[in-house]
Amino acid sequence: MVQGWKEVGPQRYRESFGRYLEDFKVGDVYEHRPGKTVTEYDNHLFTLLTLNTHPLHFDAEYAKGSEFGRNLVVSPYTLALMIGMSVTDCSQKAIANLGMDEVKFPAPVFAGDTLYAESEVLDVRPSKSRPNQGIVTIRTIGKNQRDEVVCSFKRSILIPARGHSVEDRPGSRY
């Protein structure tokens, strides 16, 4: 069977994403695609949704006077986008995000930049308190079209073992 599809009946397949605990191997790197070109609208909408009132993110005249000379994309959007890009590969089957550490933004993001992400598996271990589940730790790096790192972070995710996810339950529509 091709990864990403599961047979649900004769000549009938359902798209399936994510990995079970057993599928993660320390050192593996997943390149997340497609990338995303960030627009001014993306930046303004996220800024307004999160009530970030710093004018560097939405006031072009203010930003002209900054060292950047233009609006910066708000960093929590960059982080959210990198997390989102990694879901299909790393946390589509997750039970919960357990935490994030070492969040860094080493280079600015501007409207018009195209961002890509990749995640490396740092650790995989069974849960001590939850049978049939485990903790996967990944480091995700986001880069722009010039291959400059714009975001990096570690994330710990609670992942079910094969046969123990919501989609594995009898009668599941997933």
Each residue of 21-59: pLDDT tens digit?
A: 999 999 999 999 999 999 999 999 999 999 998 999 999
Report helix angle 75-86 to 40-49, nearest 10.
Answer: 100
* 73: pLDDT strictly greater than 80: yes
CATH number for the domain whose boundaries are 21-168: 3.10.129.10
Q: Give residue 1's pLDDT band: very low, low, confident or very high (50, 70, 90).
A: very low
Rounded Cα–Cα distance for residues 115 and 113 (Å): 6
Q: State the alpha helices, DSSP H only, in the chain.
A: 40-49, 60-64, 75-86
Reference 56, options 113, 108, 104, 107; nearest CA is 108
Rounded Cα–Cα distance for residues 151 and 115 (Å): 10
Low-confidence winner among 70-74, 135-139, 170-174 (lowest mean pLDDT): 170-174
* 2: pLDDT strictly greater than 60: no
Rounded Cα–Cα distance for residues 66 and 116 (Å): 26
Q: What is the CA radius of gyration of the chain?
A: 19
The phi-psi region of residue 171 (left if phi > 0; otherwise alpha if psi is between -120 and 50; otherwise beta) is: left
Rounded Cα–Cα distance for residues 133 and 124 (Å): 11
Q: Can you give the residue ranges of every domain in the chain? A: 21-168
Reference 164, options 138, 126, 137; nearest CA is 126
pTM over 0.95: no
